[in-house]
Amino acid sequence: MMVSRGAEAAKSPTRPADQEITVPIASDLDIVTARQWGRTLAVRLGYSPTEATLIATAISELARNIVLYAKRGEIWLSVQNGSGRPGVVVVARDDGPGIADVPQAIAGGHSTSGGLGLGLSGVRRLMDEFEIISEPRKGTTVTIKRWKR
């Protein structure tokens, strides 16, 4: 299922039947939508309220980075099984400027926007798996996973 902007965005999105959803990201409203869908997916899988909040927080950080640095992109949410237990998988993609120094960006304490520089490093700490691929002028893809305990 795809949540889109325009006339469709005015309607409340329906629950994804296939446990997969893509949220286009271009504004603060889209950040909220992606966060809500992440929480919904986590709760449906039986995550605790605390774990669902951690997943939603990580999604918020990734979506905010898209709006701030790339202007537009997408958050893709799905369910995956790993070692016999379900997990939430989040892929944040954009075609923005990319990250010039990935190790510095995920180390924490570095910000090009004047913030605290805790976004990517915070996401990395909240999730069980974290992968980032970024090329200057080609964009960034961050894949994160949190397995049900």
pLDDT digits (tens, 9 = 90+) for 92-109: 999 999 998 899 888 866
What order do you get walking across the sheet with 73-82 strand by strand?
Answer: 20-25, 73-82, 85-94, 139-147, 129-135
Find the mean pLDDT for residues 123-128.
Answer: 94
CATH homologous superfamily of 19-147: Histidine kinase-like ATPase, C-terminal domain (3.30.565.10)
Mean pLDDT (the chain, rounded)? 85
State percent of the chain over pLDDT 70: 81
Tell me what pLDDT residue 43 has. 95
Q: Nearest Cα to 45, choosing from 124, 141, 120, 145?
A: 145
